[in-house]
Amino acid sequence: MDKRFTIFTYGCQMNRYDTETITGYLNQEGYESCDDPARSDLILLNTCSIRDKSEQKVFSQLGRLRKLKRSNPDLKIGVCGCFATREGEGIARKQPDVDLIFGTQNIDKLPELLKGLEGGPTYDVDPLEPEFANLAPIRRNDGLSAYVSIARGCDNFCAFCVVPHTRGPEWSKPSGLIVEEIEAAVGEGFREINLLGQNVNSYGKKVPGELTFGGLLRRLDRIDGLERIRFMTSHPQDCDKDMISAMADCEKVCEHLHLPVQSGSDEVLRRMERGYTVDEYLSKVDLFREQIPDGVLTSDVIIGFPGETDEDFEGTLRVLKKSRYDNIYMFKYSPRPGTKAQSMADQVPEEVKAERFNAVQELQREISGKLHRGLEGGVVEVMVEGPVARKASEDANCGGSGGKLVQISVVSPKFAGRSRGNHRVNFYVEGGNPRPGDVVEVKVLRGALHGLEGISPPGAVVMEEWAT
Ligand code: SF4
């Protein structure tokens, strides 16, 4: 390889997966990954469009890269991802130093685009129907968990969301290719896979003869050497018995469901065009709780959607109490260009959003703390990531009941990992140290706000209990 590239990734897991695919293509074309932009021949910004801040970051970064271009006129600067798809050549008009622009649906054309770049600036954001003929040459980041995209795009057009505008309509990757990709990842040493899609549980619905999402989970559960299966994100309207019973039946599928509710008001959900009512949503939560009693539920909540009244907001607090989420991602609504909600009347003032945000945060902290403390004394299965870095160890001691583990029967390093319910677990070990990827049982000694602390094996003797 005689050329170097640096890629900056903004936003979600889907973008991280795209970065791994882009890296695979660049390696194939003779580019070697490089952490130092000053030594690179090509610098790519894989952008996000979900929030306004992500776009501001892109322009700040482009501003900084101008200096590099001045000292190295051969340097090529590229912008890809959702923001590139939406703005296209508009980015180059604002920042003429940009040489390459391509959209989320043009990644598979990268070899061709690189050839074009030799002749001058190259822009391609025209939506392209994915071929899915072969596996893309993906170059995964090191780790235990591999991202695997099972579908692209979204057909839902929720009123607040840019994704259907930037990632196009939904396309399901053929299940045979997904199996092939996961088997390859397992062969590289990955123990866990994280299935990605804007709406994973509508998988296969548009493709005659294709597996349903539940069917796909059952098929992937049979892959040898794979330890755990996770997925993100599920849409409540497509969450059904087929999917939940597959979660309950499949040994490798982790008992964690991320089910974004967004609002606890029927009127707000209607204006968001989410396609379900509060009662319908809660019936899915009940189904999950019935079938997977120890399951962990998380969600997304948008605060201050246009027209949200105090009463609507009270509905959101009620849903939080009923659903008992382990954790939620909270967002203050911000208008995104090109979406229906952008021009809606009755935008909620920022100070009201801030007040409601604090109320949600406070309630959720109470719920999360209670749920995590409820796990104390129990045993969780943890996939080991490795020894705890000092900072992470300190983090694990924050925000809980104020307790502090003072001494255990052996002086041992602390390890970190994830439970099947996706809790961060820091734990002491008695006996031999586990290796990354090992699955161990941990007795939970403390449930903190952001994770659990414990000891492995569960029968190890704790000499002193919590000092509070
Ligand atoms: S389901 Fe709604 S929120 Fe999710 S990606 Fe599609 S349009 Fe956006």
Question: How far is 51 from 328, CA to CA, in rounded Å?
Answer: 17
DSSP E strand boundaries for 335-378: none
Strand-pairing partners, residue 151, are 172
Distance CA 361, CA 326 (A): 13
* End-to-end Cα separation, the chain, in angstroms: 58
Cα 423 off chain centre by:
15
Separation of CA 265 and ligand 1 centre (Å): 18
Residue 444 token pair? 């939970």
Q: Alpha-carbon distance 255 to 248, whole Å? A: 8
> Please, are residues 254 and 381 in contact by the beta-carbon 8 Å criterion?
no
What are the residue ranges of CATH 3.40.50.12160 in the chain? 3-124
Closest CA to 140 of 216, 243, 27, 245: 27
Kind of pairing, strands 379-387 and 414-419?
antiparallel
Query: Which of 13, 48, 154, 201 gets mutated to test ligand 1 (max ligand atoms within 8 A of its CB)?
Result: 154
Any atom of ligand 1 within 6 Å of the Cβ of 156: yes
What's the confidence (pLDDT) of residue 50? 75
List every span in the chain annotated with CATH 2.40.50.140: 379-456
Dist. CA 306 → ligand 1 center (Å): 17
- Ligand 1 atom closest to 233 (CA): 4
Domain 379-456: CATH class, spelled out = mainly beta
Q: How far is the CA of 158 from the centre of ligand 1 (A)?
A: 5
Measured by CA distance, the residue closest to atom 2 of ligand 1 is 158
Superfamily name with CATH number, domain 3-124: Methylthiotransferase, N-terminal domain (3.40.50.12160)
Nearest alpha carbon, ligand 1 atom 8: 161
Q: Give the Å distances, CA to CA, from 115 to 24, 80, 100, 110, 130.
A: 16, 16, 11, 9, 21
Q: Which residues contact 202 (CB under 8 A, 6 or more apart)?
A: 151, 155, 170, 213, 235, 238
206-239 tens-digit pLDDT: 999 999 999 999 999 999 999 999 999 999 999 9
Cα of 265 vs its chain's centroid, Å: 25
The single-letter code of the amino acid at 3 is: K
State residue 392's pLDDT score: 39
Is the CB–ligand 1 distance for residue 269 below 6 Å?
no
Q: Which CATH number fits domain 145-373: 1.10.10.10, 3.40.50.720, 3.60.150.10, 3.80.30.20?
A: 3.80.30.20
Q: Report helix, strand or coil for 222.
A: coil
Cα 301 from Cα 310, distance rounded (Å): 15
Rg of the chain, C-alpha, whole Å: 23
Length of the chain: 468
Q: What distance in Å separates the CA atoms of residue 373 and residue 452, rounded to the nearest whole number?
A: 9
Q: Please give the distance, rounded to the nearest whole angstrom, from the Cα atom of residue 337 to the centre of ligand 1.
A: 15
- List the residue whose alpha carbon is closest to atom 1 of ligand 1: 156
The answer for residues whose C-beta is within 8 angstroms of residue 229's C-beta and 6 or more apart is 192, 193, 195, 217, 220, 221, 250, 252, 253, 254
Residue 413 is predicted with a pLDDT of 60
- Number of Cβ atoms within 10 Å of the Cβ of 75: 18
**Among 235, 237, 268, which is best to mutate for testing ligand 1, by the most ligand atoms less than 8 A from CB?**
235
Closest listed residue to residue 199, CA positions, set 129, 135, 278, 258: 258
Structure tokens at 248: 């309950």
In angstroms, the CA 316 to CA 363 distance is: 11
Q: Is 302 in the pocket of ligand 1 (CB under 6 A)?
A: no
Residue ranges, the chain, pLDDT below 70: 1, 52, 133, 389-413, 462-468
pLDDT for position 400: 38
Return d(Cα 188, Cα 251) in angstroms, integer: 22
For ligand 1, whether the C-beta of 164 sits within 6 Å is yes
Distance CA(152)–CA(138), nearest Å, equals: 16
User: Ligand 1, residues 14, 162, 167, 198: which to mutate, most atoms within 8 A of Cβ?
Assistant: 198
